[in-house]
Copies of this chain bind each other. A is one copy, B any other.
């Protein structure tokens, strides 16, 4: 697999791109790239093929020569996951799997039935760790962008997250929803355009409580949806629902 680096720099074919810091270290000391080796440089405006022009071993820096644009691997339909914080290391699994599949971002939400209550002082360390997992999975799955990872300790913060997304359609996964399946719902509403984000909301173990249900419906305008009679674990539900949306929008290979 071609080594991959993510950068926010705007690139043009023909230019040189120096890499130092963590990226330089990773390329020189971990991957041990050689002069002339091909690498991929992923930017928010697309991914470029590049070759290693110089390796400065002592300083752990490399200089890349940017060659040409590669085809995008991103879904045309933006999908976000809002995940009620589950137990143990399930957040890691969810971030990894949903990044591979192609989410644009994940918001981890302190839900009523979340057993784990994240302490404020541990938050920044935890977010760095989660971002690192998303970055590794984005690299592995050859994405153009690393999904954003955010945390909301209150419902107000969830609303602010949604507000920043602009017009979006929020699908509330709910075991108590018996009538409307995800396919029926996605195919019924044709006015919604792929330009708007789709947000999948998944509760923690034990699901959403009634006050949360009311809030999602009345304050957010979420649509309750079933993904079938088989009860999925919280760490399985998100990736399955995201896959379903990608499939509907022709973003699983068409």
Decide yes or no whether A227 CB sits under 8 A from chain B.
Answer: yes
Q: Is the CB of B182 within 8 A of A230?
A: no
Of B143, B181, B243, which is within 8 A of A244 by CB?
B243
Tell me which residues from 80 to 106 in chain A have a Cβ below 8 Å from any Cβ of chain B: 97, 100-102
Chain B residues, Cβ within 8 Å of A14: none
Decide yes or no whether A125 CB sits under 8 A from chain B.
Answer: no
Of B97, B101, B140, B253, which is within 8 A of A226 by CB?
B253
CA of A182 to CA of B251, assembled, Å:
10
Given A229-B71, A229-B142, A253-B227: A101 touches B184 (CB 8 Å cut-off) = no
Chain B residues, Cβ within 8 Å of A254: 180-181, 183-184, 226
Decide yes or no whether A221 CB sits under 8 A from chain B.
Answer: no
Q: Is the CB of A142 within 8 A of B231?
A: yes
Minimum CB–CB distance for A46 against chain B, Å: 13
Decide yes or no whether A169 CB sits under 8 A from chain B.
Answer: no
Nearest B residue to A177, CB-CB: B253
Decide yes or no whether A165 CB sits under 8 A from chain B.
Answer: no
Tell me which residues from 205 to 248 in chain A have a Cβ below 8 Å from any Cβ of chain B: 225-233, 236, 239-240, 243-244, 246-248
Given A101-B240, A236-B100, A253-B225: A230 touches B143 (CB 8 Å cut-off) = yes
Decide yes or no whether A252 CB sits under 8 A from chain B.
Answer: yes
Q: Is the CB of A230 within 8 A of B101?
A: yes
Nearest B residue to A228, CB-CB: B253
Decide yes or no whether A141 CB sits under 8 A from chain B.
Answer: yes
CA of A181 to CA of B177, assembled, Å:
31
Given A183-B247, A233-B140: A228 touches B252 (CB 8 Å cut-off) = yes
CA of A243 to CA of B177, assembled, Å:
19
Chain A residues in contact with chain B, CB under 8 A? 1, 71-73, 75, 97, 100-102, 140-143, 177, 180-184, 225-233, 236, 239-240, 243-244, 246-248, 250-254
In the complex, besides A100-B231, A184-B253, 16 extra interface pairs with C-beta distance below 8 angstroms are: A72-B229, A73-B230, A75-B228, A97-B236, A101-B230, A102-B230, A140-B231, A141-B231, A142-B231, A181-B250, A183-B254, A226-B253, A226-B254, A227-B253, A239-B240, A239-B243
